[in-house]
Amino acid sequence: MQITLDFLQIFDLMSFTTASILGSLFLFKTPKTNIYLGIFLLCLALEVFHVFCTSVSINNTFSIEFLSIISLPSLVFLLFYVQKNILGYIPKKAWLLLLLGIVLSFLIPSIIYDSNILYLRIIDYIFNLSIIIYLFRILHKHQKNVLNYYSEIELKTLSWIKTILYIFVTFYFFWIAEDIVSLFNQELPEVFAKTSTVATCVLIYWIGYKGMTQPEIFNHTLFKEKIAPEPILSIEKSTISNENDLATFNAIKKQIIKEKSYINPNLNLRSLAIDLGIKEKELSKIINTQTNFYQLINSLRVDEFKILIQSPKANQLSLLGLANEAGFSSKSTFYSAFKRLEGMTPKQYENKINILNTSKLDIN
C-alpha cells in the first residue's frame, strides 16, 4: 500500500513526531511542573495527528480513523503549568475546567453527526479563548508581583508563555476567518490551512526550546512568610506607621543604602524584610507608595556602579565586572536598568566620564 503525502502533511507529521518526543521528555524532566507542559505537548501532538489522518484519508484511496477527543482540555494543561509554577499548587477551579473540557470533548463528538460541525467549533473557540484570557490575567498579575518581589526578574516573568498565547489567539482568528470564508468560498480557506500548519510546527519547536531552558521559577509562594523576621532594624516603629509616605519610604531607602543591601545579587523582598526587621507585606506597601522593589533596588545598583566606575576598581574590572560588584547578576537587567535611568548605555556613560576627566586634566 502506497501513501501519498503532500508538503503540508509532511509538516503535520514533523509536528506530531516532535511534539510527541518533547512531550514524553517533559514528563520526566525536572522541575516537576514540566509534567503539565509535557501533557500539553502530547495533546497538541494528538490534535495534529487528527488533522494529519483526515488529510491523508482525503488524498488517498483508504482512510485512517482517528478521533481526537482532547482538543478542548489541551490548553487547561498549559494553565496547570503556569499555576503550578506561580502558586506552587493547582486551584480547584482549574481542575473543574479540566473536567468541563473532558466532558464536552466526549459529549460533542456524539452529537455532531446529527448537527452542523460549526457548533463544535464555536464551543471550542469559546472554551479555549476563555482559558487564554484567564491565562493573560494570571500572567499580568504575576508580572506585577515579580516586580514587587525580585530585584532580578530574568526567567521569572514567564513572558514566553504570553508569546504562546498570542500565537494561539492568532490561530483562533485564522480559524474563525477560515470558517466564515468557507461559507462563501471553498478554495481560499486552503491559504489559512497552510499558514496554520507551518505556524503549528514552529510553535511546537518554540515550546520545546523554551521549556528545556526554563528553570524552576519559584521554590516558595510570594508574600507568604511563615516565620516573622527578627526586629533588627534601627528605624523606629513610629516612622513606619507615619502617614507621610515619602518620609517613610526615604527612611527605608536610607537604611538600605547604609547597609548596602542592594549589592546582594540574590536580594528579594523577603530577605530584605528580614534584614530590616519589617513584615514582608508592610515593606512592599511602603516601597509601592513611590516605586516597586525591582526599580528601587536596581536604581541603587546603578548609583553604586556610577561610583565604582570612577574608583580604582574601574582599572581592574570590566563594565560587567563593575556591575556585578554593584549587585547585578544579569547583563540584560544591568543594561536595561542603566539605560532607563541614564538615557544611555553603560559604555556611552563610560566614554562621557572619560571625556570629562580628560577635560579636567587639560584645564589643570
Q: How many residues does the chain have?
A: 364
pLDDT 10s digit of each residue in the chain, 364 long? 455 666 778 888 889 999 999 999 999 887 788 899 999 999 889 888 887 877 776 655 444 444 444 467 889 999 999 999 888 899 999 999 999 888 877 776 565 555 556 677 788 888 899 999 999 999 999 998 999 999 988 878 888 899 899 988 988 888 787 777 777 766 665 666 777 788 888 889 888 888 877 766 665 555 554 444 444 444 444 444 445 788 999 999 999 999 999 999 999 999 999 999 899 999 999 999 999 999 999 999 999 999 999 999 999 999 999 999 999 999 999 999 999 999 999 999 999 998 887 776 666 5
C-alpha cell at 348: 556611552
R_g of the chain, CA atoms, integer Å: 27
Name the 3-class secondary structure at 268.
Answer: strand
Angle between helices 319-326 and 346-363 (to 10 degrees): 100
Q: What is the pTM of this model?
A: 0.80
pLDDT score, position 319: 95
pLDDT score, position 242: 47
pLDDT score, position 115: 52
Q: Please give the DSSP secondary-structure letter assigned to residue 217.
A: -
C-alpha cell at 77: 494543561
Q: Which domains does the chain have, with CATH numbers?
A: 7-213 (1.20.1070), 237-363 (1.10.10.60)
Name the 3-class secondary structure at 67.
Answer: coil
Q: 327: Cβ–Cβ under 8 A, 6 or more apart, which residues? A: 151, 262, 263, 264, 265, 267, 297, 300, 301, 304
- What type of residue sits at position 52? F
**The CA-based dihedral angle spanning residues 68, 73, 74, 77, taken in that order and rounded to the nearest 10 degrees:** -150
pLDDT score, position 159: 87
Quote the CA–CA distance of 270 and 163 in Å, as a whole number. Answer: 30
For cell 515579580, name the residue. Answer: 146
Q: By the 8 A CB rule, do 186 and 1 touch?
A: no
**The CA-based dihedral angle spanning residues 238, 244, 249, 250, taken in that order and rounded to the nearest 10 degrees:** -90
Quote the CA–CA distance of 274 and 245 in Å, as a whole number. Answer: 21
Q: Please give the DSSP secondary-structure letter assigned to residue 313.
A: G
Q: 229: Cβ–Cβ under 8 A, 6 or more apart, which residues? A: 273, 274, 276, 277, 278, 279, 280
Residue 150, beta-bridge partner list:
268
pLDDT score, position 110: 60
pLDDT score, position 112: 54
pLDDT score, position 12: 86
pLDDT score, position 230: 45
Name the 3-class secondary structure at 136.
Answer: helix
**118 vs 50, 111, 182, CA distance in Å?**
17, 12, 11
